[in-house]
Structure 1
């Protein structure tokens, strides 16, 4: 999520919590967002295994956190992955996301990148298309997806357990 969030709430980069939510509820919501993204990508391939993880927000807090879910998909051709980026660009706004950036990033490889926010659900996503031999994972073409939630406060009496 970006600092320019129109909702007036702080973003997920370490700001004030946007509400109270259990870690379990946030984990489920993060998995659901990632599944929705994978449905839009609509490609068969190898999807990395790690699930969502909890990050304190800010780093020294025992009661506030955000969810992070980095994952990737490899296997499809560069052409198929490029079309998946176009699908994300075209379909995310239909599902309530605001595209904040779509184009080449400033990396050495000038990777195609999409950044979008879902202000209603308080999530952001960044997707990078790493073309073959661009310095990415084992020189295979891939989509690198990073899903992040806004900061939340755990319910009273609970503490953030980063695992």
Structure 2
């Protein structure tokens, strides 16, 4: 268990860098993190939970999602007192491991029908060559990376959702959670 948590902690900064560099931009530079508008971190947490819930529903399988909450991070090189991003990392374990076989193919087909653009799809660079999908929702200002960990026991899908850059309303402070 400690190894998995350590691996997640190590991959978090890498995943954030990968996801925030995807096509989710308002300007022509792909290095810019798009603006998600003005919001409190609490309201932004509600937004990312809704996106994760929509993704959960698109899986279309019976199973259990991990009970992890969203987190707050700094937004690139912007003032950390005024700007922040949200992230939400969670996993889905199906009721029966055989069910995951076509889940990634279905997600690749269904996500674009719900406003997501597939940015990357295929085996990752890990030793297990896990099937990985990265998608951006330019309208909602969110990106997701989904990894099918077929060789885990039990097999599961890992989701990492990240928002664009929020600005805290005047007079408010960014809550860290």
TM bucket normalised to smaller: 0.7 to 0.9
Q: How many residues in Structure 1 have an aligned counterpart in Structure 2? A: 157
Shift in Å, 1:150: 0.6
Listed as ranges, the gaps of 5+ residues in structure 2 are 1-18
Moved more, 19-28 or 92-101: 19-28
> Of Structure 1 and Structure 2, which has the larger fraction of its residues in helix?
2
Once the two structures are superposed, the pairs formed by residues 1-163 of structure 1 within 5 Å of their partners are 1=19, 2-5=21-24, 7-8=26-27, 15=33, 17-58=35-76, 61-132=80-151, 136=152, 139-163=153-177
Summarize deviations over 1:59-102 as a string: whole Å, max 9, x none. Answer: 87122111111000114444311322112111110111100011
Please report the TM-score for the alignment, with normalisation by the length of structure 1. 0.85
CA RMSD of aligned residues (A): 2.3
Task: Please give the secondary structure, in 1, of the residue aligned with 2:55.
Answer: helix
Task: Please give the secondary structure, in 2, of the residue aligned with 1:19.
Answer: strand
Gap change, CA 1:65 and 1:10, over 3 Å in 2: farther
CA distance in 2, matches of 1:18, 1:143: 27
Please report the TM-score for the alignment, with normalisation by the length of structure 2. 0.78
Listed as ranges, the gaps of 5+ residues in structure 1 are none
Gap change, CA 1:9 and 1:155, over 3 Å in 2: farther
Shift in Å, 1:14: 8.0
Which structure 1 residue ranges, 4+ long, deviate > 4 Å from structure 2? 13-18
